[in-house]
């Protein structure tokens, strides 16, 4: 039986999460189906554009992402307390960023101002909107539903497009965050779609590379989000620069490319692990969709606070 979302996503504590959502029956509804040869790869751009458009409205920042042929990954920082600090007018503006179709004319500033004034007069609706914009589940719903409607119209069909439940795993430390981000950013390489990070598309890493163009100033800047709905004081500042992260990912890429030509054991039993074995172990852990992701002591504390029995594998340090 699946663990209820309210036990997995902390309602009071800001935290990073790894999120995965799959197309129904894992069908290739955002790529070229290997059986039917029907190609829906253009839908990856739909999801990527939608993600960037709505994130500024919600209490989340998107650290990285990867849109694949039958699923997508997000790494987000979610602050369930942020919406309480927003002014009423900010809540109304954010609402119409997320739901521009509710405006008579989304391109008319006067129409937006009028809609905001009307919302400010309706305290009950305003608080409902605040609650929605502060919800991780509502963020995912707002992201996914329009893609499903658009895809069904394109295919002249109806029914479910996404699998009902999305996966969310709490990320318990900055070291774990870097590992999960690299795992997500390297998805196209693991899937053998491309062989180098500069060739990837529809990932947060590709977005960073395109935005930075490897300028020395950008490379030395601290790692920021790909899309952000939180203020600078509401999201922790990374201790890693873009150059440091690219170096980390490139090191794992070298391991990944080598691993495609090696037979890795299903499990690693000895205590002293090589860097290659640590990365293999980390991937095995993340593939199991754990409820929380972290080193042994972080994981034990997270499980203890929630009264969960331990069924997760601790993430090995790559240090």
pLDDT digits (tens, 9 = 90+) for 47-104: 999 999 999 999 999 999 999 999 999 999 999 999 999 999 999 999 999 999 999 8
**Residue 141 has what pLDDT?**
96
**Up-side HSE of residue 4: CA atoms within 13 Å toward CB?**
5
Q: Is the pLDDT of residue 34 over 80?
A: yes
Distance of CA 228 to the CA centre of its chain: 12
Task: Render pLDDT for 170-191 as a digit per residue (tens, 0 to 9).
Answer: 999 998 999 999 999 999 988 8
Task: Render pLDDT for 225-278 as a digit per residue (tens, 0 to 9).
Answer: 999 999 877 788 888 888 899 889 988 888 887 755 444 445 555 555 577 878
The stretch 33-55 carries a mean pLDDT of 94
Q: Which residue has the tokens 């240090």?
A: 319
**Residue 1 has what pLDDT?**
58
Q: Which range has the worst mean pLDDT, 28-42, 274-288, 305-319?
A: 305-319
The stretch 117-124 carries a mean pLDDT of 96
**Residue 222 has what pLDDT?**
85
The DSSP bridge partners found for residue 67 are 72
Name the residue among 20, 3, 230 with its Cα closest to residue 133: 230
Dihedral over Cα of 105, 227, 30, 24: its sign: negative
Residue 264 DSSP label: -
Q: What are the residue ranges of CATH 3.30.70.1290 in the chain?
A: 12-80+136-306
**Residue 72 has what pLDDT?**
97
CATH T-level fold of 12-80+136-306:
Alpha-Beta Plaits (3.30.70)
Q: Which residue has the higher pLDDT, 67 or 280?
A: 67
Q: At a CB cut-off of 8 Å and minimum separation 6, what does 79 contact? A: 14, 59, 60, 230, 234, 235
Dihedral over Cα of 209, 211, 215, 220: its sign: negative
Structure tokens at 286: 């993340």
Name the residue among 312, 23, 313 with its Cα closest to residue 163: 23
């Amino acid at each position: 039986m699946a663990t209820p979302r309210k036990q997995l996503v902390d309602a009071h504590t800001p935290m990073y999460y790894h999120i995965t959502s799959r197309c129904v029956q894992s069908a290739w509804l955002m790529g070229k189906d290997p059986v039917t040869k029907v190609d829906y790869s253009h839908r990856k751009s739909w999801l990527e554009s939608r993600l960037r458009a709505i994130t500024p409205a919600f209490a989340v920042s998107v650290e990285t992402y990867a849109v694949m042929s039958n699923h997508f990954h997000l790494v987000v920082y979610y602050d369930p307390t942020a919406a309480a600090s927003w002014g009423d007018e900010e809540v109304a503006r954010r609402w119409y960023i997320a739901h521009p179709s509710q405006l008579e004319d989304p391109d008319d500033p006067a129409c937006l101002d009028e809609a905001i004034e009307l919302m400010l007069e309706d305290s009950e609706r305003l608080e409902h909107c605040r609650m929605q914009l502060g919800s991780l589940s509502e963020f995912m719903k707002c992201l996914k539903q329009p893609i499903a409607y658009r895809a069904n119209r394109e295919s002249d069909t109806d029914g479910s497009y996404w699998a009902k439940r999305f996966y969310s795993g709490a990320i318990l430390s900055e070291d774990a965050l870097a590992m999960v981000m690299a795992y997500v950013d390297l998805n196209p390489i693991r899937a053998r779609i491309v062989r180098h990070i500069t060739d990837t598309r529809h990932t947060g890493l590709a977005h960073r590379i395109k935005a930075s163009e490897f300028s020395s100033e950008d490379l030395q800047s601290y790692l920021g989000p790909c899309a952000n709905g939180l203020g600078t004081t509401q999201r922790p500042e990374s201790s890693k620069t873009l150059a440091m992260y690219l170096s980390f990912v490139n090191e794992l890429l070298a391991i990944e490319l080598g691993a495609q030509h090696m037979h890795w054991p299903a499990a690693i039993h000895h205590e002293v692990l090589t860097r290659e074995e640590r990365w293999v172990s980390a991937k095995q852990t993340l593939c199991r969709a754990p409820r929380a992701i972290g080193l042994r002591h972080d994981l034990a504390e997270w499980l203890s606070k929630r009264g969960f029995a331990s069924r997760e594998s601790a993430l090995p340090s790559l240090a």
